[in-house]
Structure 1
């Protein structure tokens, strides 16, 4: 008897009794489970290849009708297997499901043959692995179908936007500088069919004196990912365009998306004046920054980029001005709060920290911008790091006073010295905050992190409040 054999009575037939020894071993080795079923359909012997039954509860089947070991929907298939084996001697493979105590039903494919004494030998193969692979294949195919249609929809939208855009759009291979795709507007701009533009070198149709500007534009796009508008002159009578470029990766290729838009202005005089103003703003030694209402940078000139130690404007756009100006999370919120209340901040002392660690003292002014195109704030910052700084009124005698207190060591108790020093330093910081905010008590309280009532108490205690000022606070 094989190690996996299961039967209850030595008088009942086993697999070895019904088939030659070599055939019994072959059946046991090539199938997960083998059954000997008598003429009444009762299982008389169970064998399996391993030490443990591959089907849960299979070692308890002996003595039970075969149909009772399968699920209700599979009982008809068992009847067909028994009838077909009794009639023809062999059967075709049929899949049945055995119930499991936990989890899903167990699928098994059975073939059956009739033995000489009328019993039936049924050989089964566990289909769980195949079923799992089939389900995984189905899931993978469905995922591929979903991805395919999603890509088709994306490509359709891309093509629709690409062709309906009024600006000329060209996709250029960054390595070969060959055009790989072009929109209908690009074909109309250069008076060349779109399919004929593909494969041509870029820059195309640009005046010779502006080819260098195109090279600089594309080099900036490769470095920072995006390059802002550059005015270019086209050959012939095609006029001027504004060019911008973005860099992206696709299919292991580095591509450049170049947009060319018509440069149209109300009048040449207005264009000239506006261009001069923009050049002045960009070249002025004062740092100029425009932010939204929350302090996120919308645009910045070259002087600010130098102070912040940034390589390009793109590195600053969308980031909070507080990343560089003032104390992190403190000064910017005070400036914005003051601008909301009064519309302007005038010459406030602050500092700016560069990305590479350089810190510079600055004077900062801010003004609220008109809200026609969205609320914003304009900041003007002047580097005063090289100036001879004047000591604020609240700090003039701080060093001298501390030195005088030091001379009292040994004559006055330590708690008294600490209390006097604390009062002196507290008075100094309150005076500095009042000077920073132009004697605005509410803003000074925000800078110091105090309530307005607490600040009034401290002002009175240090003799900094006017004689006629009423303090309504109860405690400091």
Structure 2
């Protein structure tokens, strides 16, 4: 093979005459068929005289015979057609995309025109770009949905940082494994007399006087077992007087962290059960949040959850079982509860919320288990109906794959899933029979082992075209 390119775009065969010696016209046509979905023969008057296409997918192209090629495309593509026919292209290997008009839709096709030296014909080879266009639209909508979610995440993170940094009392977050400070607010930095950000990355124990460090480590170990333990009095490094440390644990991304409040006697440090800042964030956050006891009775819910289930007020929900609203009773929450006991947290569990008016909303649930004398379960519920509406919808009202059918488990009774599976299989078999017989209903009924009347009835039930098919 000669790696020298004659026109900068192609690497030709070094000996094409030898390569194609013995090729018949049929062989050459087969090569051309492999190049694209459309083949158009265009005369010197720029009129389409003949076509070669796949009848199943591109039968509409037969309407172009006898028309000027430029008349079959949209207005913005006419100039491209003239350029293709006149050879006005930067390179002979260039393909040009044009849009054909058909039944009110634009069909994008990528064309290359070949003009034999000793013939007045032009041969246009085209590739159907509709499947690529659908993928591009799906990618665009998914990207837009991700950007909206990312913007929402950034806004939530900004609110959290503002809240954390503006709390009046000293508070810090430390890694439970290495006891390294991950973040401390301005009040904590002011208490230690250092510049903002100077505490990040330092050992938590370095804030405490040496003689209190063993007590601090024992206290942290005790809190990991029993979060109700009393605060620890210690003296901070380089300072006189005692302060009280109150630590609580939480998990994020599979790692354990400590949230530590420091009571220096100068600020009002709220108790864990009455932290108005945290409660205010939970109440105003856009995602639904609910806290339940061991029996899944609702203890705390925010306004977003009340709106999600169409309740008049949050107070109306207190004491009600969460099973009333999440998925099928005792099914979805039972699975969540088991996962929480095994792993302490669950992310993006797919389910549905049943509101008080009988409606359903697809949701994703993230949950956490808070281990106390009486375990508590926290659920963050995010509606994903908008995201599903943004994505391209599948044709028909039936599931189109085994994966989609299995996703119905826990949301619908087995009887309904089996019925939908049967309808799906029946519809797909009928569609395959119609394709196999070129839409001849009599032949389709014969290969399916049905009477013609039974086939027409099923066609009507599945909405598969009109009832005046070929017999």
Question: Normalised by the size of structure 2, how large is the TM-score?
Answer: 0.44
Q: Which has the larger radius of gyration?
A: 1
Question: Normalised by the size of structure 1, how large is the TM-score?
Answer: 0.44
